Amino acid sequence: MASAEQGARKVAVLWVEDDRSPILREWVEKELAATTRVAGQECRFWIAKQVTDPHQAVDWYREHHDDIGLVLMGAGYLAIGTFGSSLTESQVVAFILSWMMVFIFFLLDKVLFILPNWMVTPVEYLSIEYHFQNIARGVLDTRDIVYYLSLIILALLMAARSLAARRWR
């Protein structure tokens, strides 16, 4: 454990070398040390699981399908936030815009009961929660992956376009 913390401190020192700020250096060292401890505990958990029941192989997909969904959903929300942040120079306005966009995507499948029947399917497909629920149930469908990747790429392309347009003003 000590060697992992020393390695984290070396990386932190190299990363913060340009900034010579002792407060930032201390913060980065603590964060990297905590991250390596968490990773080590996760590895110990999987090893202990194998040792306690060595005849049962760990089904990595079944153990991590919800993690895949969380990573995809988080990346989608981050891409939407990046787009919202690219629309304005004010941090407060960017936060409010990003939060509102993420909240709208979150609420889409919660308002289906007030929509006409012909709008339910398209609006449900646009909802982030709908696709996450499929993955959390253990169904890793290509439609869900394509949805998340399309959302991420579209939001990041719109952010890049917004920043490029701002440069020409």
Q: Contact, 25 vs 12, CB < 8 A?
A: yes
Inform me whether the pLDDT recorded for 80 exceeds 80.
yes
Question: pTM (2 decimals)?
Answer: 0.64
Collect all residues with Cβ–Cβ distance below 8 Å to 108 and sequence separation of at least 6: 123, 124, 126, 127, 128, 129, 130
Which amino acid, 121? T
CA 138 to chain CA mean position, Å: 19
The region of weakest confidence among 19-33, 82-96, 110-124 is 19-33
Cα(93)–Cα(88) distance, integer angstroms: 7
| Mean pLDDT value across residues 101-108 | 89
Inform me whether the pLDDT recorded for 161 exceeds 80.
yes
Delimit the domains of the chain by residue range. Answer: 1-58, 59-169
pLDDT, residue 123, reads 87
Degrees, nearest 5: CA angle 76-82-20: 120
**Residue 155 tokens, joined:** 């939001």
Cα(38)–Cα(105) distance, integer angstroms: 31
For 38-152, strand residue ranges (E) read none
Q: Confidence band (pLDDT; 50, 70, 90) for 68?
A: confident
Residue for token digits 């990297």? Answer: 32
